[in-house]
Chains A and B, each alone.
Chain A
Amino acid sequence: MYYYIIEPSKGKFINRQEKIKDILGDLGIAGETVSPSSARTIEELTHLGVVKGYSTIVAVGSEALVNKTITVLATEQTAHDTVLGIIPDDFTSALAKKIGVADIRSACETLKFRKLETFSLALIEPNKYFVTEASIENPKNQEIFFAIEKLKGKARADQITIKPGLEIIFNDPIKEGGMSHKLIKWLFGKKEKDIFSSFFHPKKIRFESEKENLPIKVSGEVVAKTPVTFYNRSKLLKIIVARDIIKEKKNLTGGER
């Protein structure tokens, strides 16, 4: 059975909730729907869904809602068999692409077909999980120190992006060139080799900043400040994805062989 946590719609998306409920009803996968409020937080509602024994909890709304739901599912001992479904509010987002949905209808149909894929999550100490990405904002471009087990490093970057699987990208706009440089590259179609991005895939990475404590943002919300440790939690949560994604992956695997 499905348990839907629907984020209240605002502005021009005010009819979104009703539209989603209608489609879910048509597809025969309607279930209990709840909405977070000042009385009941997203975390409490997710916990309630787990306690009630729902096998599928569906997060309907923003990336922040999805990540908060994920944090509860990843930490609850009894939620190991619980599957997460997602109906994102932004179908151009990386999250929507990750699960392979293009609009509300395809997201609802994806829930019905129930193809599962196990996703890796990233954990920010002490207990914030995310499936999208986190960023460390460093507008003053101060030196950032990091440690990966016995390996120590430092970097100058105005932003560090951390993705699940602990893929770390250091972005340094000074070395990458300004807007005019980027415009020239775009106009003349000149492709330069990216030597500014770093990719590490460790199990754990700790960041420290030189002077100020830098904020760590997930889905636009500050969830922690440096010094901070990120952990990779591989293959932790089953998420419902579009059928095409799995087909594409199978084809790719077949092609490689």
Chain B
Amino acid sequence: MLGGKQASPTGQGTIVGTNVKLIGTLQDANDIVVHGQIEGEIISNQAVNISETAFVKGPVSGEIVSVAGKVRGAITATNKLEILPTGKVFGSITSKDISIRSGAIFVGKCTMPNEEKEETETESATAQEGGKNTKKDTQYEVE
């Protein structure tokens, strides 16, 4: 489950308490909730919740990622990413559904994959330019 191996979905998630500091890859097929400090990668097939007391130094990926604490690293959410008013993110974020609440701090590049536009553009580009590569994502930079 932890330390780089894929976990079997047992319904139990991982919770890192506020008095715990971890170094390495934290991986769980279920939800991960972080109240403490993690230096390394966080990977979940489901939700990742970075609470107000948490500090994460490393990339975070999950289906739904919610940030109320501090993250220094790239965040990828396959479904939804939410940075709450107390959240601080320093790094690139990627998700098709992004919410940055008032009061939150975000420094980095934001990428929103747009599948519909992607398909149309790819089709027309293939027809016109014989398959030349085109820019597919909508990108925003905030600093």
Which residues from chain A sit less than 8 Å from chain B, CB to CB? Answer: 148-157, 165, 167, 170, 172, 175, 195-203
New A-B contacts (13) at CB < 8 Å, excluding given A154-B21, A198-B15: A149-B5, A151-B3, A152-B22, A170-B20, A195-B18, A196-B17, A196-B18, A199-B13, A200-B2, A200-B14, A201-B1, A201-B14, A202-B3
Q: How many Å lie between the Cα of A170 and that of B51 in the bound state?
A: 18
Judging by beta carbons under 8 Å apart, are A198 and B1 in contact? no
Distance of B12 from chain A, by nearest CB (Å): 5
Could you say which of B4, B15, B51 contacts A149, with CB atoms under 8 Å apart? B4
Judging by beta carbons under 8 Å apart, are B15 and A197 in contact? yes
User: Would you call B25 an interface residue if the criterion is a C-beta within 8 Å of the partner chain's C-beta atoms?
Assistant: yes
What is the size, in residues, of chain B's interface with A at 8 Å between Cβ atoms? Answer: 27
Judging by beta carbons under 8 Å apart, are A153 and B23 in contact? yes
Judging by beta carbons under 8 Å apart, are A148 and B3 in contact? yes
Judging by beta carbons under 8 Å apart, are B20 and A198 in contact? yes
How would you classify the secondary structure of chain B's contact residues: helix, strand, loop or mixed? loop
CB within 8 Å for A149 and B14 given contacts A155-B20, A195-B35, A195-B53: no
* 16 A-B residue pairings within 8 Å (CB atoms): A149-B2, A150-B3, A155-B21, A157-B19, A170-B17, A170-B19, A172-B17, A195-B18, A195-B53, A197-B15, A197-B17, A198-B15, A199-B12, A199-B13, A200-B1, A203-B1
Judging by beta carbons under 8 Å apart, are B24 and A175 in contact? no
Distance of A109 from chain B, by nearest CB (Å): 31
Judging by beta carbons under 8 Å apart, are A198 and B2 in contact? no
Which residue of A has the minimal Cβ distance to B5?
Answer: A149
Q: How many Å lie between the Cα of A8 and that of B52 in the bound state?
A: 53
Contacts of B22 in A (CB 8 A): 151-153
Judging by beta carbons under 8 Å apart, are A172 and B23 in contact? no
Q: How many Å lie between the Cα of A200 and that of B10 in the bound state?
A: 12
Which residues from chain B sit less than 8 Å from chain A, CB to CB? Answer: 1-5, 7, 10, 12-26, 35-36, 40, 51, 53
- Interface-centre pick from A157, A195, A196, A197 (highest chain B CB count, 10 A): A195
Which residue of B has the minimal Cβ distance to A234?
Answer: B10
Judging by beta carbons under 8 Å apart, are B17 and A151 in contact? no
Contacts of B10 in A (CB 8 A): 201
Q: How many Å lie between the Cα of A161 and that of B74 in the bound state?
A: 34
Could you say which of B12, B15, B23, B53 contacts A151, with CB atoms under 8 Å apart? B23
Distance of B64 from chain A, by nearest CB (Å): 19
Q: How many Å lie between the Cα of A199 and that of B23 in the bound state?
A: 16
Judging by beta carbons under 8 Å apart, are B25 and A153 in contact? no
Distance of B32 from chain A, by nearest CB (Å): 10
Judging by beta carbons under 8 Å apart, are A155 and B12 in contact? no
Contacts of B4 in A (CB 8 A): 149-150
Judging by beta carbons under 8 Å apart, are B17 and A152 in contact? no
CB within 8 Å for A195 and B51 given contacts A149-B3, A150-B3: yes
Q: How many Å lie between the Cα of A200 and that of B27 in the bound state?
A: 11
Judging by beta carbons under 8 Å apart, are B1 and A150 in contact? no
Q: How many Å lie between the Cα of A157 and that of B12 in the bound state?
A: 23
Q: How many Å lie between the Cα of A74 and that of B3 in the bound state?
A: 27
